[in-house]
Amino acid sequence: MFHHGVKSGVAIAIGYAPVALTFGLLAKSTGLSIVETTLMSMIVFAGAAQYISLNLISLGTGTFEIIVTTFILNIRHFLMSASLNEKAERDALWKKALYAFGITDETFSVAAMKEGTVSASYMFGLIFISYSSWVVNSAIGHVVGAYLPENVQLSLSVALYAMFVGLLVPAVKTERKALWLAVCSGAINCMLLLWLHVPKGWAIVIATIMSSMFIQWIVEKGKETTYAQ
Amino acid sequence: MRSDILFIILGMGIVTYIPRMLPLTVFHRIHLPPFWRGVLRNVPYATLGALIIPGMFLIQDDLWFGILGFVSAVFASWLGANVMIVVFVSVLVLTVYTFI
């Protein structure tokens, strides 16, 4: 099962590489040492929060503000963890506590789209390869900087988004509900981000909850009417 | 290693880990009503929607960059390509696009 996890994590590992390399490079230009850079990737393991923290560090923002910003940005993992818990096998608590550390947008998406239940050993495999790529490439980025040609770097920035699409489309093909959930959530997210200027972390949480509840409400209402007839 | 940076890193690590860990370890014996179980089962698809839209279309100032990446990814996965191939096709198409 561990190797199944590793196999489904390869796409994440590849997608993380350019993001982590760039993080390493930016961390260097922000003035972080290679130890600090690698340690942040090892301990935090959250792309967006790490990028934003560099920005805040370079602006001289206080420790407390940086930590609060990180919390707000990563509160969405609470929702993902709760959702994953619904299909998680009954593994030892310490194992679940351990793999919980590796829940990111990407590892969650891959695990959630997997058929059947999710075991701790599968999660360990999935996270092992994703985490390794993240940490190692952060360090490499700090050392060598961006050696990739600029247009390749540019096009690699689409990799993780393409992976999300690649995970969603098969679900949409088999279940129309998946399409409505995604479109509805995307629309709410757009409105929150672009119009109401809600912070990104909260926008994803609110859009996901509203869409999930709204579509579920419609589904249950549909059932009631069928029973009534 | 500067201690202020170390505090930032540790603090960030803690506030990132807690939301990831609580539901999997504390909620595991709580039985939710069917409606909320349904909602949680919807979460993955809704999350993917919010991760893709609008982020994918805002990678570059050039809106076509995101649109082209999106269309090629949808096209490849609609034809049944696995996730790796989808990523490869999308990156390849955009590499060509940025060349011309």
* Number of separate domains in chain B: 1
Instruction: Using CB atoms within 10 Å of the CB of residue A94, give its burial: 0 to 12 exposed, 13 to 18 middle, 19+ buried.
Output: exposed
CA distances from residue A100 to A18, A81, A126, B26 in whole angstroms, order as listed: 24, 7, 12, 12
Complex confidence, ipTM: 0.88
Q: Could you tell me if residue B23 is inside a domain?
A: no
SS3 A19: helix
In the predicted model, is pLDDT for residue A54 greater than 90? no
Reported confidence tier of residue A61, pLDDT bands at 50, 70, 90: confident
Mean pLDDT lowest for which of A87-91, A108-112, A128-132, A154-158? Answer: A154-158
Asked if the structure places residue B73 within a domain, the reply is yes
How does residue B37 score in pLDDT terms, banded at 50, 70 and 90? Answer: confident
Domain of B57 in residue numbering reads as: 48-99
Average pLDDT, stretch A130-142?
A: 95
Q: Does B40 reside within a domain?
A: no
How is chain A split into domains, by residue range?
2-157, 175-229
User: Does position A84 have pLDDT exceeding 60, yes or no?
Assistant: yes
Alpha carbon of B89: minimum distance to chain A alpha carbons (Å)? 9
* Rounded-to-integer distance, Cα A172 and Cα A177, Å: 7
Residue B28 lies in a domain: no
CA distance A164 to B83: 9
Distance from CA of B68 to the nearest CA of A (A): 10
pLDDT for residue A228 is more than 60: no
Read off the pLDDT of each residue in A91-104 and give the average, rounded to a whole number.
95
List alpha helices for chain B, DSSP H: 3-26, 34-52, 63-78, 83-99
pTM here? 0.80
The band of B27, judged by pLDDT with boundaries at 50, 70 and 90, is confident
Check residue B29 and report its DSSP letter: G
- The C-alpha torsion from A156 through A162 and A166 to A167, rounded to 10°, is 100
The pLDDT of residue B49 is 93
A100 Cβ under 8 Å from any chain B Cβ: yes
**Band of residue A188 on the pLDDT scale cut at 50, 70, 90:** very high
Q: What is the DSSP letter of A148?
A: S
For residues B21 and A227, give the distance between their C-alpha atoms in angstroms, rounded to a whole number: 39
pLDDT value of residue A226: 64
How far is B67 from chain A, CA to nearest CA, in Å?
Answer: 11
By the 8 A CB rule, do A98 and A88 touch? no
Q: Tell which of A42, A45, A158 to mutate to test the B interface (max B CBs under 10 Å).
A: A158
Q: What integer best gives the mean pLDDT of chain A?
A: 89
Give residue-wise pLDDT tens across range B8-24: 999 999 999 999 999 99
Under a CB-based contact definition with an 8 Å cutoff, are residues B35 and A220 in contact? Answer: yes
Asked if residue B80 belongs to a domain, the reply is yes
Residues β-bridged to residue A118:
A88
- CA-based nearest residue to A72, from A195, A191, A213, A206: A206
Separation of CA A7 from chain center: 18
Q: Identify the sign of the CA torsion A138, A142, A143, A146.
A: positive
Please give the average per-residue pLDDT across A77-105, as a whole number: 93
pLDDT band at residue B34 under the 50/70/90 scheme = confident
- Token pair listed for B42: 């919807």
Phi/psi at A107 (5° precision): -65, -35
Is residue B66 situated within a structural domain?
A: yes
Please identify among residues 42-61 of chain A the ones whose CB lies closer than 8 Å to any CB of chain B.
43-46, 49-50, 53, 57
Cβ neighbours of B30 in A, within 8 Å: none
